[in-house]
Structure 1
Amino acid sequence: MELEAAKKVIRKHTLGHSGFIEKAETANRYYRKENDILFLPKKSKDEETPLRNADNRVPSNFYKLQVNQKAAYAFTTPPTFDVDDQAKNDVIKKALGDAFAKKCKALCVQAANTSVGWLHYWRGEDGTFKYEVINSTQIIPVWTKGLEKELLALLRVYNDMDEAGDEYMVYEYWTDTECQTFRRRCDMDLEALERYCIYTVLDPGPGYGQETNTFQHGMGEVPFIFFNNNDEMQPDLKDIKELIDSYDKVFSGFVNDLEDIQEIIFVLTNYGGEAGNPDDIIQEIKRAKLVQVDNDGEGDKSGLSTLAIEIPTEAREKMLNITRKSIFEQGMAIDPDPQNFGNSSGVALGYLYSLLELKTGMMQTEFMISFNRLIRAILRFYHMDAEKIEQTWTRTSVTNDSELADIAQKSVGVVSKRTIVKNHPWVEDPDDEMDRIEEEERHESQNAETYGDAFLKVGDQTDVEE
């Protein structure tokens, strides 16, 4: 791609991306407990009053709790994949690696905060399949114009620094065959764009050993997979941001009132003492234990009184409870208040998780399509394929294991043994568990045969003696 063509592509696809970044950064701030209340302007000198001095900013952590709740509920036990071939299953499991659960959670958090998570895969230096979660704010997808939206190309934009300490904006343009890299200094405009030669030509022939900005990745498609948060492509913060802001304001105002109420203001009318400033007056009161005032006779209101703040505790407490309840209802999450659990049965616990299950199910529908793309990419990388990919998702929640185990026991003879094993609450890896069961059955069969042979030998000896 020529430089002028690259500039046109970058201008076209970066236009409007700043709006996406702004929304994503807002959600990321709330996830880090940096709510808007921390950045509200402080009161000016004209707005300050003697009774209102405290200015506490107390952000709540409801949003991070809800995002982590969904990630843990869906991916503490990551989904498993079955392509009806044990050898291929082993290849998939090895390619996903030990960090698969962690990367699933990272994808979930990215999708919840930015509306979409992105995963990039490539060939490692050792020739194995590698993949990693990419910051969604760096990714600008280029979609096909058909009704079935497919990834045509992708532009990745991020900051980098060279050895001299100069900061650059790097642009990677990925297609189904290659990646081209460009960069410009951050203190210059797009007209300063240049080729960023970070690859080395290794193919024998012209240009061997030279540096280039083009890399042939050989993956057969754009090596990025998107994981939508939901069908509407909306972040989780959208439904609850205003409620969280309201809760923060009421709670912080309550804290401010509790701090301000400790400051008592003395009101002196016709003070007759010698002290001239407020500090001297307070010291005089503490020393003499009395206050001298001038009285002009009947009807005079001279004397000492105090001012204090009255806090509408009941109204604020009710407001906080209503707002908290709305945050968890609108956010489709579980309020961890202990009184919501108690000694609940399986049905009651299921109802408690109903909203979280709905939200997670909407995400699962989108993620299953993307995980299928990942599994097919792994198989294609190792020159394999699969007609059918079966995914098994396990929820991590407070459950009544005795009820689930009882259901599994009653299902023997009704459904297959493998299905029972997959859904048993104690089983983490169905394949390993089936191998253990087969091994136990083999040992039991061998023991039964050994016992039978021994019984027959005893019988033969008895016949001989008779």
Structure 2
Amino acid sequence: MEIEVIKKLIKNYETGHASFINNAMIAERYYHNKTDVLFQKKKEDNEENPLRNADNRIPRNFHGLIVNQKASYAFTAPPIFDVGNTSANNTITECLGDEYSKNCMELCINAANSTIGWVHYWESDNGFEWAVVDSKQIIPVWSKSLKKKLNGVFRVYDEIDEITGDNYTIYEYWTETECQAFRRKTSDTFDENFSVYNMFYDPGNDEMISSYTHSFERVPFIPFNNNNIGTNDLDNIKLLIDVYDKVYSGFINDLDDIQELIFVLSGYGGTELNGFLQDLKKYKTIKVDGDEGSNPGVSTLSIEIPIEARKTVLDVTRKAIFEQGQGFDPQPESFGNQSGEALKFMYSLLEMKVGLMQTEFMLGFAELVRAICKYKGLECKTIIQTWTRTCIKNDTEQAQICKDSVGIVSKRTILKNHPLVEDADAELKYLEKEEAENQAKADMYGNSFNDGGDDDGKEKKEDTKV
């Protein structure tokens, strides 16, 4: 594609992408517990109200907690794929690699903070490779059809030139057939310094070139939407978190301020406040003067804290955060000796949110698995995805259910659902081994008794002859 066309595309899409980056950075900041309360303007000395001096800023990481709940609930045990062939399944698992579970977690967190996660796959000397890309780097170019198709992807990131030390912005434009690379100095505009960038190695000519041809026949980027409406997980709870931080920080400020005792002096005979404090400390008394009709003396100011009102606000706000954020409130008083059904009900909001995400993520994982199969030359028609939730369970109740199911369902199904069993197939092998060992012992003891009986019989016959 000509450089002028690329420049027009970047100008058209990068403007709207700036708003996306800003929202994603805010959500990531809240995820790392850097809420707005930390960046509010510091209040100046208030001469009219000298009691207000403390300026504590205490954030509560509700957004990080709820996002981590979602990622752990959905991907502690990542999805398993079945294309109908054991050998192909093993090949897919091998291509997904050891970092598959970690990448799933990262995808979920990226989508929760920026509305969408992205996976990029490519071919290297090691074969098929894939990785999660920072969502802020991706500018997608979608088709206008009813079934949106990804026509191209800009990957935009900064890089420091190792020779000159200058900071450059790199633009990779990926299509169904190739990738073209461009760059400009970050401090320059497109019109001043925008050119092709030789970043790919051509083994045929032993040179660096600006374009790279691939054979995937698709844009090698896969979107993973956070939900069906394209929002992040902070939008519904940001204002509630700000209210909680403001009220909680204000409460701590009042506790700090109330510890300072302020004296109000009327008719004090001295001239310096230091003298007042020294007399009070040394003699436990002070001297006050007063004209006729005046009311000399010393009094103190203190702050009254509306504890109950603030406690109510904090409790109501906390409850609203977990309801709006569709999370699981880990309050100790919420637990107890609860049944499995009651525990499932406590996860109902989180399950609903993860279900919406799962619907979108299944499309992305299916595309990734098909890309692996195409690269490996495997047949891939229907892909069965098995998703497992990780949550608190009543193990005693679950074990009783398994015990009561003996003779009704298969042993493998019982072992698969037993709380003490992690791998049902491995557990079946252990049981078979134990049964074989027990059978061998039983046969050994049985043979011993049979041999002893024969000897006794012979001895009795011999005794009879004598």
Out of 327, 332, 343, the position equivalent to 2:337 is: 343
1:396 matched to 2:413: no
Give the aligned partner of residue 130 of structure 1.
129
For the residues of structure 2 that align with 1:99 and 1:21, how far apart are their CA atoms? 26
Offset from partner CA, 1:406-457 (integer Å, 9 cap, x none): 444555676676665655545545xxx33663685599689979999x999x
Match of 1:286 in 2: 281
Equivalent AA in structure 2 for residue 134 of structure 1: V
Match of 1:331 among 321, 325, 334: 325
Given that residues 349 and 399 in structure 1 are in contact (C-alpha distance below 8 angstroms), is that contact kept between their aligned partners in structure 2?
yes
Any idea what SS the aligned residue of 1:239 has? Answer: coil
Cross-structure match for 1:101: 101
Deviates more, 1:41-50 or 1:129-138: 41-50
1:177 offset after TM fit, Å? 1.0
Equivalent positions of 1:82-97 (< 5 A) are 82-97=82-97
Q: Distance in 2 between matches of 1:74 and 1:140?
A: 27
The alpha-carbon deviation at position 49 of structure 1 amounts to: 2.8
Q: How many residues align?
A: 450
Q: Please give the alpha-carbon distance, in whole angstroms, between the structure 1 residues aligned to 2:406 and 2:217.
A: 45
1:226 pairs with 203, 223, 226, which one? 223
Residues 231/428 of structure 1: CA separation in 2 closer, same or farther (3 Å cut): farther
Paired position in structure 1 for 2:36: 36
Q: Residue 242 of structure 2 corresponds to which residue in structure 1?
A: 245
- Give yes or no for the alignment of 1:437 onto 2:428: yes
Q: Which whole-Å CA distance do the structure 2 matches of 1:258 and 1:338 have between them?
A: 26
**TM-superposed deviation, 1:129:** 1.7
Show the counterpart of 1:160.
159
Provide closer, same or farther for how the CA distance between residues 410 and 381 of structure 1 changes in structure 2, counting only shifts above 3 A.
farther
The one-letter amino acid paired with 2:73 is: Y
SS of 1:16's equivalent in the other structure is helix
The answer for the alignment partner of 2:256 in structure 1 is 259
Which residue identity is paired with 1:268?
L
Show CA shifts across 1:372-399 (max 9, x none): 1111111111011222111111111110
CA contact (8 A) 1:66 1:333 kept: yes
Q: Does 1:76 align with 2:71?
A: no
- In the alignment, is the contact (CA less than 8 A) between 1:264 and 1:306 conserved in 2? yes
Q: Distance in 2 between matches of 1:83 and 1:447?
A: 39
- Aligned residues of 1:346 and 1:400 also touching (Cα < 8 A): yes
1:11 maps to 11
1:43 positional shift = 1.5
Structure 1 residues 147, 316: closer, same or farther in 2, change over 3 A?
A: same
Confirm or deny: 8 A CA contact 2:415 2:427 kept in the other structure: no
Secondary structure in 1 matching 2:234: helix
Matched, 1:217 2:214: yes
Alpha-carbon distance between aligned partners in 2 of 1:44 and 1:450, rounded to the nearest angstrom: 86
Alignment counterpart, residue 370 of structure 1, candidates 331, 349, 364: 364
Question: 5 Å matches for 1:174-189?
Answer: 174-189=174-189
Aligned AA (1:197) = N
Out of 410-419 and 52-61, give the one that drifted further.
410-419
> Is 280-289 or 144-153 further displaced after alignment?
280-289
SS of residue paired to 1:238: coil
Once the two structures are superposed, residues 326-351 of structure 1 have per-residue CA deviations (whole angstroms, 9 ceiling, x without a partner) of 11111111111111011111111111
In 1, Cα distance between equivalents of 2:433 and 2:314: 62
Equivalence for 1:202: 203
SS in 1 for 2:34: coil
The residue number in structure 2 matching 1:296 is 291
Partners of 1:170 and 1:288 in 2: CA distance? 76
Matched AA of 1:345? S
Query: Structure 1: how far apart are the matches of 2:414 and 2:132?
Result: 33
* Distance (Å, rounded) in 2 between the aligned partners of 1:324 and 1:8: 47
Report the CA distance shift for 1:340/1:447 in structure 2 as closer, same or farther (over 3 A): closer
1:233, 1:217 → 2: CA distance?
30
Q: What secondary structure does 2:156 align onto?
A: strand
**What amino acid is aligned across from residue 248 of structure 1 in structure 2?**
D
- TM norm structure 2: 0.89
Structure 1's unaligned 5+ residue stretches are none
| CA deviation after TM superposition for structure 1 residue 16, in Å | 0.9
AA aligned opposite 1:287: K
Q: Once the two structures are superposed, what CA deviation does each residue of 1:200-225 show, in whole Å capped at 9, x if it has no partner?
A: 2234xxxx233211001222211111
What is the CA distance between 1:285 and its match in structure 2? 2.0
- Contact 1:291 1:304 survives alignment (8 Å): no
Letter in 2 for 1:199: F
Report whether the alignment pairs 1:139 with 2:147.
no
Q: Deviations over 1:281-338 (max 9, x none)?
A: 22232223212112334x5321110011111111111111111111111111111111
For 1:389 and 1:26, the matched residues in 2 are separated by 37
User: Is the 1:153–1:174 contact (alpha carbons within 8 Å) kept by the matching residues of 2?
Assistant: yes
Greater CA drift, 250-259 or 208-217: 208-217
Is the 2:177–2:219 contact (alpha carbons within 8 Å) kept by the matching residues of 1? Answer: yes
Structure 2 distance, partners of 1:155, 1:414, is 56
Q: Give the whole-Å Cα distance in 1 for the aligned partners of 2:396 and 2:93.
A: 30
User: How is 1:57-72 mapped onto 2 (pairs within 5 angstroms)?
Assistant: 57-72=57-72
Q: Which moved more, 1:399-408 or 1:109-118?
A: 399-408
SS of 1:359 mapped into structure 2: helix
d(CA) in 2 for partners of 1:94, 1:125: 16
State the distance in 2 between where 1:231 and 1:416 align: 38
- Bigger mean CA deviation after superposition, 376-385 or 405-414: 405-414
**Residues 3-26 of structure 1: CA deviation (Å, up to 9, x unaligned):** 211111111221211100010000
Asked if structure 1 preserves the Cα contact closer than 8 Å seen for 2:276 and 2:286, the reply is: no
